[in-house]
Structure 1
Amino acid sequence: MIDLRSDTVTKPTAEMLAFMQSCEVGDDVYKEDPTVNALEDFVAKWFGLDSALYFPTGSMANQAAIKMHTQPGEQLICDKYAHVYHYEGGGVSFNSGVSCKLIDGHRGMIEAEQVRAAINPPDFYHSPLTSLVCLENTTNKGGGACYDIEVMKNVRAVCNDEGLGLHLDGARLFNAITASSYTPKDLGQIFDTISICLSKGLGAPMGTVLVGKKHVMQKAMRVRKVLGGGMRQIGYMAGCGLYALQNHVERLQDDHDKAQAISSTLEHLDFIKRVEPTETNIIIFYLDDQVQATLFEDYLAENQVQISNMGEGKWRIVTHLDYTDAMHVEFLDILKGFKA
């Protein structure tokens, strides 16, 4: 099976499993798991931020950050495609009592002046108090698009002017770093909090690290407990994340190169209507209006291929650690072989 639905389908490598088995563990609720502590210290230093905390999932880390930045009845600003709005089960309202002001950005990315225009007047008590801005890098529904660092800096300047917090959903942040010229420390100077998912392109089986400034992160342990995220001998999983950060970041370029090759192939096929710009490991494309989606889907299934049908002629392919060179050659041939 060639599974290109998501980079979440990866499995630990043999080297990662061997490293995991060598990890020393303790009770992380007491902060006595040395491997978790090492992962958190590694991430905090890498981003030049005060502290970090290991969470079981990216959604929990994002939801914790939102709760740490806001009070019930307030409002956050994000793009209309944002993961915190679309794919976290309504957690913004359920967990924090906060509403979302949605911005019509470009491929999931928003500009500083859009943020400024979306801020509710603080002295107008009829509207929610704006307290937080959430960016996502790379953007999921935006097809793996990456923020330019100057855009992020400009959003930071607006947040400084208006007294707002700034959180980065970095589910695929190292894909963005690989495709761009900025570093983790550059981002640490911009954001108050950043969530870093370890279980997508980096290939760990689970886990996200939330890293940030002390005045926000001092609430993180309590909020994680409230959300049910306290874990015990979790150092085995944290060890997988530490191994991934130390060994799997540079290889993300291989995923990007394969994605570019797939995108280029799709652009030359007569049954494809359009391919969105491909910057990282996500390819978004549209079938020609005359092509039956079920026919295409059945053809892929017959050839042991899985990708994501997003509806209305829109499809998604995601390259990842377990998508081998041999699979890549075979998949390109399969695409070329489809007859509409």
Structure 2
Amino acid sequence: MTILKKRKEEISMFCPYCGNENEEKNRFCVHRESSLTEEVKKEVRPPKPRSEGILVLCFVILFVYGLGITLYKLKNPSKTSGQRVAAPTQPQPIVQKIDFPAGIDKQEFNLNPNGWILVKIPQGSKYQYSCPPGTKIRLPNGVEIINSPYRHDRLGTIYTLWMKGSGKATVSIQRFGSLSTSKKEFTINRKESTIDIIGKWQGTYDDNGFLPINFEMELSQTGEVITGTFSEENPHHRSSEPSVLKGTVKGSISGKNIALEKHYTNINWNPVTYNGTLNKDGTKAEGLGWGFIWSMRKR
């Protein structure tokens, strides 16, 4: 046995790469011994890691990423690019249809707890309904609201309602000669309002399942034209959005009927329309928006 082989057998008992248990001879480890030949160093050199493990890891990461994207698209179809969202289906069963032929401006009917009543509002009309508390009302966008025990007014932007419940309901309409919104202002050909709404208002609205949202308005009035400003809480509380939303108000008043449109200035949101009625002294207003109920009082 040569000296080199004998030296190799000695160090193989303690080399960390060879499973040595004798720590006292670590000073002879071949990986730190510069006097050994390259042949000995190659024999005890640790094996290189295999590339197959890295490829498997990359495949697993890509699979998990693709699965996450697929699940997100299934849960949020309206947020995916280029994907069409199916229109809300009509509720079933429909047990009765109510419309307003020429000369008929009011319809009274009995609600049905086992089926929906379809009410068709003539386009360009303002409608008002009253029904017992707890009545389900479904809007064309699929949103369902539970009616509160008061009446609602709205300019004719929703032309179909579904109603379901127990008791007697009344829907009445008022046809208008003209309704212009080309300048983002409502102009109604009726006599000038006698109610003064100038001042500061405080109110709340119930936004599709969120807790009631507080808002404030400061309104001015010139004849039937309303202008002003507003501020309200942000119902979403996202860190990238302001906590208080601000903007301008435009609209009109005619008699006890009020129509307002909010335009946001510190966030990129679409305008929101408020339609409702005032009480006799003009200190309280309430009504219905697109899928939400609102009310406010004069300060």
Smaller-chain TM-score bracket: under 0.3
Q: Greater CA radius of gyration, 1 or 2?
A: 2
TM-score normalised by structure 2 residue count: 0.24
Higher normalized strand content (fraction of residues): 2
TM-score normalised by structure 1 residue count: 0.22
Higher normalized helix content (fraction of residues): 1
Q: Which has the higher contact order (CA 8 A, sep 6+)?
A: 1
